[in-house]
């Protein structure tokens, strides 16, 4: 029995190699590696933006401007991470951007825009926190 | 070595080959990334009435009227600019809206080309 099975295996191995050689092509390959992972936000709870308006006689005034936006509702999971806040106007056009790092404590942080943005033009705000 | 041991060794080699094939995947981790955009709402787009209250030849306060109820609780800031100087003040819009008189910090002189700016912030 063992001899029969052994002979069958030997035969299959042999023919397998033969067939393998007969069908082989010359092929090289660059490296290829892939992976997928989830990109998650640092917090799921809502944040809120409030505005500090200041009158400015010079450009972009005369009129009221926004120089500071305060973001509240910051969770500890978003501490010490880079952020960007954008104030946008008509058609989503950027009126001004401010970047920085979220604080290491507390639930709010102030974002300063320089130059200031015309309050009349602001229609939307965008916030991104990464890291 | 017996036949069955050889067969087991061959099976193990095949299995190892499969594992090595799977090892071609990369290791990947990711930092967090969260983004959001929201509109900045306006409590009204309707026209408001603006009256300057004079004391002699200076503007001491400004009355803003026709404020809708949606603006209740907002802080109304008003600035009068006469081209030479400007004066500002603020007040809270009462529940139900209506009209609000904002006293100015100083009283700028009345001129022929004044500009009055106002903004309502919050709540």
Q: How many angstroms separate the CA of residue B123 from the nearest CA in chain A? A: 9
Token code pair at residue B111: 């001129």
Is 70 exceeded by the pLDDT of residue B106?
Answer: yes
Q: Would you say residue B112 has pLDDT above 60?
A: yes
Using 50, 70 and 90 to split pLDDT, how confident is the model at B47? very high
For residue B9, the model assigns a pLDDT of 61
Distance of residue B115 Cα from the nearest chain A Cα, in angstroms? 9
Q: Name chain A contacts of B35, Cβ cutoff 8 Å.
A: 41, 126-129
pTM: 0.76
pLDDT value, residue A28: 85
Contact state of A35 with B119 under an 8 Å Cβ cutoff: no
pLDDT at A27: 87
Rounded-to-integer distance, Cα B32 and Cα A131, Å: 5
Closest chain B residue to A10, measured at CA = B7
CB pair distance less than 8 Å for B117 and A42:
no
* A41: contact with B, CB 8 A cutoff: yes
Over range A17-43, report the average pLDDT.
79
Given a cut of 60, is residue B19 above it in pLDDT? no
> Which of the four pLDDT bands, split at 50, 70 and 90, describes residue B2?
low
Q: Report pLDDT digits (tens) over B49-65.
A: 999 999 999 999 999 99
State whether residue A81 sits within 8 Å of chain B by CB. Answer: yes
Largest CA distance in chain B: 118
The sheet carrying A108-118 orders its strands as A48-56, A63-72, A108-118
Cβ–Cβ contact A4 with B under 8 A: no
pLDDT at A11: 56
| ipTM of the modeled complex | 0.75
- pLDDT at A44 > cutoff 70: yes
Instruction: Using CA atoms of A8, A14, A20, A22 in order, give the dihedral in degrees to the nearest 10.
Output: -120
pLDDT, greater one: A60 or B9: A60
Structure tokens belonging to residue A59: 């450009």
Between A44 and A61, whose confidence is greater?
A44
Report residue A25's pLDDT band, with 50, 70 and 90 as the boundaries. confident
Q: Please name the residue of chain A whose CA is at the shortest distance from the CA of residue B86.
A: A57
Nearest chain B alpha carbon to A3: B3
Whether A123 and chain B come into contact, CB under 8 Å, resolves to yes
A-B contacts (CB, under 8 Å): 99
- Coil, strand or helix at B120: strand
Put simply, the answer to whether B119 touches A36 (Cβ < 8 Å) is no
Give the CA-trace dihedral at B110, B111, B113, B115, to 10 degrees: -20
Beta strands in A36-93 (DSSP E): 48-56, 63-72, 82-88
The chain-wide mean pLDDT, for chain B, equals 88
Q: List residues bridging with A49 in a β-sheet.
A: A71
What integer pLDDT is reported at residue B28 of this predicted model? 87
Q: What is the pLDDT of residues B75-105, one digit of tens each?
A: 999 999 999 999 999 999 999 999 999 999 9
Which of A34, A40, A88 has the CB atom closest to B32's CB atom?
Answer: A40
Task: Please answer yes or no on whether A37 and B39 come within 8 Å at the CB atom.
Answer: no
Query: Does position A19 have pLDDT exceeding 60, yes or no?
Result: no
Whole-number pLDDT of residue A89: 95
Report the pLDDT value the prediction gives residue B10, as an integer from 0 to 100.
58
């Amino acid at each position: 029995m063992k001899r029969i099975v052994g002979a069958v295996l030997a035969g299959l191995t042999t023919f397998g190699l033969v067939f393998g050689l007969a069908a082989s092509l010359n092929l090289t390959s660059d490296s290829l590696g892939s992976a997928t992972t989830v990109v998650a936000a640092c917090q799921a709870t809502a944040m809120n933006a409030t505005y500090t308006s200041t009158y400015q006689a010079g450009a972009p005034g005369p009129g009221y401007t926004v120089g500071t936006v305060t973001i509240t509702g910051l969770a500890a999971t978003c501490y010490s991470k880079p952020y960007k806040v954008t104030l946008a106007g008509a058609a989503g056009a950027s009126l001004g951007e401010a970047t920085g790092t979220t604080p290491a404590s507390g639930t709010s942080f102030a974002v300063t825009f320089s130059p200031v943005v015309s309050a009349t033009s602001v229609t939307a705000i965008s916030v991104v926190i990464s890291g | 070595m017996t036949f069955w041991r050889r067969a087991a060794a061959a099976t193990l080699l095949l299995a190892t080959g499969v594992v090595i094939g799977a090892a071609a995947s990369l290791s990947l981790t990711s930092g967090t990334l969260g983004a959001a955009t929201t509109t900045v709402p306006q409590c009204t787009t309707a026209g408001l009435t603006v009256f300057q209250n004079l004391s002699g030849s200076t503007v001491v306060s400004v009355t803003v009227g026709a404020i809708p109820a949606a603006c209740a609780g907002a802080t109304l800031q008003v600035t009068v600019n006469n081209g030479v100087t400007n004066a500002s003040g603020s007040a809270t819009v009462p529940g139900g809206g209506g009209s609000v008189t904002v006293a100015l910090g100083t009283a700028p002189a009345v001129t022929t080309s004044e500009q009055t700016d106002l903004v309502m912030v919050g709540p």
